[in-house]
Structure 1
Amino acid sequence: MAAPLSSARHPTSATSRDPITKTLELTGARCVLSRGLTAAGSWALAFPAPGQLKIQVILQGVIWLVMEDIEHPVRLAAGDVAVFAGDRRYTLASDPDVPPIDVLPLLRATTETFVHAGDAGRDAVTIGGHIDLSTTGKDLLLSALPPLIHISAATAEASATCWLMDQTLREIHSDAPGSSFAAEHLAQLLLVQVLRVFLTNAEACADADAFPTGWLLPAADERISLALRLMHEHPGHPWTLAELARAAAMSRTSFAQRFKEVAGVPPLAYLCAWRMRLAQHMLWQEDTPVSAIASALGYRSESAFSNAFKRTTGLAPRRYREASRAS
């Protein structure tokens, strides 16, 4: 049986792990490197929506990125990193005015690691990859990130991301002991860099102002994050608005208003959603009895938990466990 998620004592202060660290444990992050691209002259390639978290690193030259529903093309220079989240088609090009061709026939025509576009030569070189996420990870991250994050080569995060991509590539193609384990953890470090940019550098995020709020923004709010940390670390505790406001050193009214502004939902509604995400993860990865999950997440009975879980997911806990493992 998994260890209880709640604490036996009444928690009065935040623990050492921040909400992002706890959340990353639920993502099931695994990095998959896609094909690289070399190009020269005049060229443009249209890509389908990635449907997952995609990272594009520019190794040489300049490449223009044109993304669906993003008003202005983005100039990507050597050392820059672009992160795509969501279901938007995009184009990589030597110039945003060049008419694009579909990239898929080009990819199918060869099994080489790098495909080539345009004239002979190597004016531009880029390599991309995507991060596979568990169902819970997709729910947490793809709904919280803006459609595009542009990380400039001048930032520490870009340098770290390029290094991590290179190391991941080496591990994926290595037969060394532990290479699979190393690649999986490098993927989590890649996620950390992406999240740090989002939390500390808003201008890097295209259309971020128009994007819905989510759990990432409360994590970046100095006082709200204190209450968020308690909910993440002690989800089974019967939190009240007064307790959470006290942890944030705010009045109940001010705390409730501020939390809803940055998270988009009231504090206790957020807590319920977080409990359901933890439950999904436990049902998928562990053999913990449903009754034990209910108790660990603060529900007085298995039936109360099952009803709440079915309202959220459309499936009873045991049926969800069967379906998630089968898929």
Structure 2
Amino acid sequence: MDVLGDVLATTGFKGVLLAQLSARGANWGCGLERLGTAGFHLIAEGTCWLRVAGQPPQQLVPGDVVLLPHGEPHHLAGGPEQAAVPYAELEAAHPADRDGIVDLGGDGPVVRVVCGKFEYDGDASQHPVLSALPPVIHVPGMSADPELQGIVRLLAAETTRKRPGARAVAARLTDVLFVQVIRAWLDTAASDPQSAPQSWLMALRDPRIGAALSLIHEAPQQPWTVEGLARDVAMSRPAFARQFKQLVGVSPLAYLSRVRIALAARLLRDTDQLVSDIGEAVGYTSEFAFSRAFARERGLPPGRYRRTCLTPAGL
């Protein structure tokens, strides 16, 4: 079982292209407010600077990718101390063209930044992947693996071509880009475990705990016990429970509950199955037990959660 892929699919995770910033020289700055979701920037051409509160300015060069998993407010600018204008004001003064390019003008070398975000179901602060990541992930273009750089080059090219389906291709590539960035971050974090937050993402690298995570995701409806999971990965119960909690951050049964509820939430959103049938499908022996577990995880009972998902925004 591909645990990362399963989590992304369960939460309806998908990339969305927002715009391209184009500028010349260093006399420009763009301020972006906090997003309600994760955002990313890909430096397609030229150099610029990223500023995030509490961190030193960081120069970005062609091929670099920056992921902001928590949607932190930040500035992109032509220089490390260049003043930034809110994006809404820049877009009003320089409306995006039909290709989504916001051209800020200026004189000097061209800078082009591809900007996007990731949409998903549920609370941004509780997304199982994004909540496990640091506020900023910077993958340098020169040091990234060839597969990631291939995606970066193709995405940068598709955003400039006027070929049929270019935007559709670019949108699909953002999903691949996200996974490649996570892989690059995991490789870096593995060499310095103290720099990485405790999470199931890091636990995927452990042969036995990673295997237990795969078992849970492959069949969350099974009546798993700590003893059974420990036995299946050839560990004693105490050692398994201790190592799972140490690496993942929660107990095995608490993690199982999260996986079940995430799957149930998708079924509530995307199907018209009865609540009782969904509860049984994800491993609960009674509708009462399912409703109690769902409300504990999501703050709402299943029926009310479904009605909330079906209510158009603003009503």
Q: Is TM > 0.5 for Structure 1 vs Structure 2?
A: yes
Q: Given the alignment of the two structures, is residue 309 of structure 1 paired with residue 255 of structure 2, yes or no?
A: no
Partner of 1:19: 3
Q: Please tell me whether the aligned partners of residues 29 and 187 of structure 1 are also in contact (alpha carbons under 8 angstroms).
A: no
Distance in 1 of aligned mates of 2:65 and 2:160: 19
Identity in percent: 34
Distance in 1 of aligned mates of 2:69 and 2:284: 34
Q: Deviations over 1:262-306 (max 9, x none)?
A: 211111111111111111111111122222221122211111111
**Alignment equivalent of 2:109, drawn from 118, 122, 127:** 122
Partner of 1:201: 188
Partner of 1:81: 65
Q: CA deviation at 1:141?
A: 2.7
TM-score (norm 1): 0.83
Q: CA deviation at 1:211?
A: 6.3
Q: Please tell me whether the aligned partners of residues 26 and 77 of structure 2 are also in contact (alpha carbons under 8 angstroms).
A: no
TM-score (norm 2): 0.86
Distance 1:184 1:75, change over 3 A: closer
Distance 1:235 1:210, change over 3 A: same
Please, what is the CA RMSD of the aligned residues?
A: 2.8
Q: CA deviation at 1:67?
A: 0.9
Distance in 2 of aligned mates of 1:74 and 1:151: 12
Partner of 1:10: none
Distance 1:204 1:62, change over 3 A: farther
Partner of 1:97: 81
Partner of 1:165: 155
Distance 1:323 1:263, change over 3 A: same
Which amino acid in structure 1 is aligned with residue 307 of structure 2?
E
Q: Which stretch shows the higher mean deviation, 224-233 or 50-59?
A: 50-59
Alignment of 1:120-159 (within 5 A): 120-135=107-122, 139-154=127-142, 155-156=144-145, 157-159=147-149
Q: Please tell me whether the aligned partners of residues 30 and 84 of structure 2 are also in contact (alpha carbons under 8 angstroms).
A: yes
Which amino acid in structure 2 is aligned with residue 56 of structure 1?
H
Partner of 1:319: 304
What SS is found at the alignment partner of 1:25? helix
Q: Please tell me whether the aligned partners of residues 152 and 177 of structure 2 are also in contact (alpha carbons under 8 angstroms).
A: no
Distance in 2 of aligned mates of 1:194 and 1:300: 39
Q: Which stretch shows the higher mean deviation, 223-232 or 189-198?
A: 189-198
Q: Deviations over 1:203-256 (max 9, x none)?
A: 899xx9566433322223222110000011111111111221223332222221
Q: CA deviation at 1:319?
A: 1.5
Q: CA deviation at 1:66?
A: 0.9
